[in-house]
Amino acid sequence: MVETTLTPSLQLLSEQCRDFIKSLIHADVAHDITHIERVVRVAIQLCNAEKANMAVVLPAAWLHDCVAVAKNHPDRAKASTMAADKAIGFLQGLGYDEGLFEDIHHAIAAHSFSANIAIKTVEAQIVPVSYTHLRAHETDSYL
């Protein structure tokens, strides 16, 4: 579990996102729950440091890989947008604040370099930076 100092409502959201991710079958073992938890941990740290909107960063970090597309699949460049769409559907089902959906969608869609989507917000910068940071330091002891 990700240790944080989140508000109770964001802690509940974090648990709901984690449960949702764990319910999915991922073909890509490099993006298992421990990888996603690490991304979330780094994203929370960066969000706090940058004074970004945690209500956007937290679900984007949890849900950024909720759709798995094989690296050699012709739709690979669309995977992050498909994940963003799926994430918004999940968040709608929770009754999450719809006013945040555009920024959450953008943060997830723009996290993938192969999608070639220009990053427009500080929140959208955090998920790919967290992910890239982990690719360089993928150990629990580092975090």
Q: Using one digit for the tens of pLDDT, what is the confidence trace for 44-57?
A: 999 999 999 999 99
Token pair 């974090």 in the structure block, residue: 14
DSSP 41: H
**pLDDT the model gives residue 72:** 74
Asked if 21 and 38 touch (Cβ cutoff 8 Å), the reply is no
Among 36-40, 94-98, 108-112, the range with the most confident prediction by mean pLDDT is: 94-98
Asked if 47 and 54 touch (Cβ cutoff 8 Å), the reply is yes
Tell me the percentage of the chain whose pLDDT exceeds 90: 52
Report residue 38 CA to chain centroid gap. Answer: 11
The yes-or-no verdict on residue 132 having pLDDT over 60 is no
Residues 30 and 36: their CA atoms lie apart, in Å, by: 9
Asked if 2 and 19 touch (Cβ cutoff 8 Å), the reply is no
